[in-house]
A and B are shown apart, each in its own frame.
Chain A
């Protein structure tokens, strides 16, 4: 603990923000889908993983990271829409457990298919040339790529916020999440809205997977780790709340990052301790509506 300076703590805080940014992206998709469709998407981690592998595949074909940034969310979102249209849609109105089991099973299928296509071992994922190195952020040198992850996440959040708050379709989503029947009698084909929301949620998951790839490489199981952590984020933030997902995602990132500085052996456990505390003090999470699941 000797060389523990304020600067080091500040740097670690930033590292926590970058890690948290990935959680945020993952969890807002999960929240958006749950809030609108009441589907707990257990395949969300698999879509995240597919995003990373799709990026890897584009690089293998000779594409670059900037193409990935556009193509990966598009491809994963389209894939998500196919899954909603042909699998999940059949289960609406049958309770929360049917789509949960379906997506749970689907995630295994997706992981297995990726193992067949790319092998069981992982791959490194190069940081794009332009984003290599570190920059001085005042408290010390911080990896440029992590700064980019924070910036990209902020951009996605801003875009999503503008979309939800300023467009008619966003208005439909906000209203439809609270009262789908009213939206239907005002002339909206709600099944189309669900389709697009599932597409947006999975596209953001794929984007998160791509952003995470240069930080940790890609392996077929990368989605199940983050799913467990995102579960904590959603519980802390409140199920179905986007604002909650953002706040809790950053908090969880910072907790992981800080505990790995002060007590590395506690890093994995710390977030579950955080979850336990939140559950005791405020069972519905920061922004959750009480009794949502009942």
Chain B
């Protein structure tokens, strides 16, 4: 589904990604881990088309994305939930969900889709007309995810969704990822919450200093204390 090969990215003159290669097969949950500053966010931003300067190759569903603007990558079925939630101030929960559909051909079924989504995210269903930023951090994160999946993307990339969220909600969220996987959505997950992430993931990549330094099945990595110690401890 997604083949990233020799991806390089720059912030101005600083070269932060060096030949990153990652593959995600249809229906998988793939986890991307590593210390702060390892380049995980930059990798997701490059795949989504939010970096000014990139080189290499990003192939999604057989199409080269590298020179496409972000909105056209969305149109191909790629969704992205950035770090820090980014719930839009001044909009209600319902409006945030509608925003997830404005550019989608699914917009015709807006009412139905909002209803469907409310079933998957019961916490949001109770609060559809509430201003979104008045919800708790965890609920806002749920909304950010709901907003990204309401248009039924093929692959969703999430950047540290459990950051700063109550443990109960984190569990709920990770179960949701499994449910999304069961429905055929592919997931590329960046997480600091390594143990939990590896429990639901199929495979994992470990990044350090802008490069992939390790890859294995999630189960193997879960047992590999040395690698976890070396690249993931703070």
Interfacial residues of chain B within 123-171, with CB under 8 A of chain A in the complex: 147-148, 151
Q: Of B48, B50, B90, B102, which one neighbours A188 at CB under 8 angstroms?
A: B102
Kindly supply a per-residue 1/0 record for chain A positions 156-187, scoring 1 wherever the CB is within 8 Å of any chain B CB and 0 otherwise.
00000000000010011011001101111111
> Which residue, of B75, B79, B88, has the highest number of chain A Cβ atoms within 10 A?
B88
Q: Of B48, B71, B90, B91, which one neighbours A189 at CB under 8 angstroms?
A: B71
Complex Cα gap A183–B48 (Å): 13
User: A267 at interface (Cβ–Cβ under 8 A)?
Assistant: no
User: B103 at interface (Cβ–Cβ under 8 A)?
Assistant: yes
Contact B103 A188 (CB under 8 A): yes
Majority SS at the chain A contact face:
helix
User: A110 at interface (Cβ–Cβ under 8 A)?
Assistant: no
Tell me whether A172 and B99 are in contact in the complex, defined as CB-CB below 8 angstroms, given that A181-B82, A185-B48, A189-B71 are known contacts: yes
Kindly supply a per-residue 1/0 record for chain B positions 77-111, scoring 1 wherever the CB is within 8 Å of any chain A CB and 0 otherwise.
00110100010111100010011101110010000
Contact A186 B103 (CB under 8 A): yes
Contact B99 A185 (CB under 8 A): no
Contact B95 A171 (CB under 8 A): yes
Residues of chain A contacted by B86 (CB below 8 angstroms): 179, 181-182
> Closest residue to B52 on the A side, CB-wise?
A93
Complex Cα gap A171–B148 (Å): 16
User: A190 at interface (Cβ–Cβ under 8 A)?
Assistant: yes
> Closest residue to B50 on the A side, CB-wise?
A181
Interface residues on B, range: 20 to 34
Q: Of B48, B69, B80, B90, which one neighbours A174 at CB under 8 angstroms?
A: B90
> Which residue, of B71, B89, B90, has the highest number of chain A Cβ atoms within 10 A?
B71
Kindly supply a per-residue 1/0 record for chain B positions 49-91, scoring 1 wherever the CB is within 8 Å of any chain A CB and 0 otherwise.
0100000000000000000011100110001101000101111
Expressed in whole angstroms, the minimum distance between the Cβ of B221 and any Cβ of chain A is 29
Residues of chain A contacted by B69 (CB below 8 angstroms): 184, 189
Residues of chain B contacted by A184 (CB below 8 angstroms): 50, 69-71
Residues of chain A contacted by B74 (CB below 8 angstroms): 185-187
Contact A186 B98 (CB under 8 A): no
Contact B89 A178 (CB under 8 A): yes
Residues of chain A contacted by B82 (CB below 8 angstroms): 181-182, 185
Complex Cα gap A181–B144 (Å): 13
Interfacial residues of chain A within 205-257, with CB under 8 A of chain B in the complex: none
Expressed in whole angstroms, the minimum distance between the Cβ of A64 and any Cβ of chain B is 39
Contact B71 A174 (CB under 8 A): no
Give me the interface of A with B, judged by CB distance under 8 Å.
Answer: 168, 171-172, 174-175, 178-179, 181-190
Give me the interface of B with A, judged by CB distance under 8 Å.
Answer: 48, 50, 69-71, 74-75, 79-80, 82, 86, 88-91, 95, 98-100, 102-104, 107, 147-148, 151
7 more A-B contacts (CB under 8 A) besides A185-B80, A186-B102?
Answer: A171-B95, A175-B88, A179-B86, A182-B86, A184-B71, A186-B103, A187-B71
A-B contact pairs, 15 of them (CB 8 A): A168-B102, A171-B98, A172-B102, A174-B90, A174-B91, A178-B88, A178-B89, A178-B90, A182-B88, A184-B71, A185-B80, A185-B82, A188-B103, A189-B69, A190-B71
